[in-house]
A and B are shown apart, each in its own frame.
Chain A
Amino acid sequence: MRNAISLCAGLIFGLGICLSGLSQPHKVLGFLDLAGNWDPSLAFVMAGAIAVAAPAFALARRRGADWTGEPLQLPRNREIDAPLVLGSAIFGVGWGLAGLCPGPALVGVGFFSPLALAFVAAMAVGVLATRRWRLWASRRLPQDA
């Protein structure tokens, strides 16, 4: 059940990325280029996604359990810490450099794009390089989501 739901969610997520224009780096860079020819489209992607997801999260929280009856596993960490701010800052720089964030990059691999594959391979190296930080954080915070 959980695996079928995950497969469907991944598929719909990918279709949304393709339809929204997020999979095209020029669309993302057009949005991030405030000083140039600004394309505000991506603000509509975010608005559309949040408008649908917000009531669903509120409902999920009220139910307290998923469709299989198991308790929700949503993040409980509320602490504003250095990894959050520093990591987000580094992520934003990379996002602006190529016009790709993780979801659209994985979709690009699904399009068999060699450059998207190079991006994702580099992304894997970046992800693994955070291990040391995460060990430190897990010693400090008993349960991070």
Chain B
Amino acid sequence: MHIDWAHFSPGSALAGGALIGVAAALLALGAGRILGAVGLFAGVIDGPERVWRIWALAGLLGAPTLARTLWGAAAPQFETGFGHVVAAGLLVGYGARLANGCTSGHGVCGLARLSPRSLLATLVFMTTGFASVFIVRHVLV
């Protein structure tokens, strides 16, 4: 294993992670709900509990403008083309909705709640995520 020290950014990663934790804590304590991105998105397009989810989604969509003003956060730069991105979006939407959670709902909130379902979900999507990148970067090239 070779560590990419040039891109390693533990400080901003930890601080950004802590902010995500604050957001999850606020929603749990203040509104008694789980902060999960696919749940927010699915709830907005396909019911139930649409109203609070629309507000949370509005905050999420507004954050980049604030981040750009505060510290000049950069827009995402993709390594893959349109076809890859659409295929990935289909798989992510279908899979995460089927599993009732994604990186935030299972990976952060679920693990923080010590949920066995979320632990298993996280182990599974990490494993297939590693496998997917391995195949794309080291087998298909």
Q: Closest CB-CB distance, B53 to chain A, in whole Å? A: 7
Complexed CA–CA distance, A128 and B91 (Å) = 12
The binding surface of chain B is classed by DSSP as helix
Contact of A51 with B85 at beta-carbon distance under 8 Å, contacts A6-B55, A130-B97 already known: no
A65-101: contact bitstring with B at CB < 8 Å (1 yes, 0 no)? Answer: 1111011111101111001111111111111111111
Docked pose: A110 CA to B57 CA in angstroms: 10
Chain B positions near chain A (C-beta within 8 angstroms): 1-4, 7-10, 12-35, 37-38, 40-42, 45-46, 51-53, 55-68, 70-71, 73-80, 82, 84-100, 102-104, 106-109, 111-117, 120-122, 124-134, 136-138
Contact A127 B63 (CB under 8 A): no
Question: In angstroms, how far is the closest chain B Cβ from the Cβ of A130?
Answer: 4
Is A27 within 8 A of B100, CB to CB? no
Contact B13 A21, beta carbon cutoff 8 Å: yes
A130-141 interface code vs B (CB 8 A; 1 in, 0 out): 110110000000
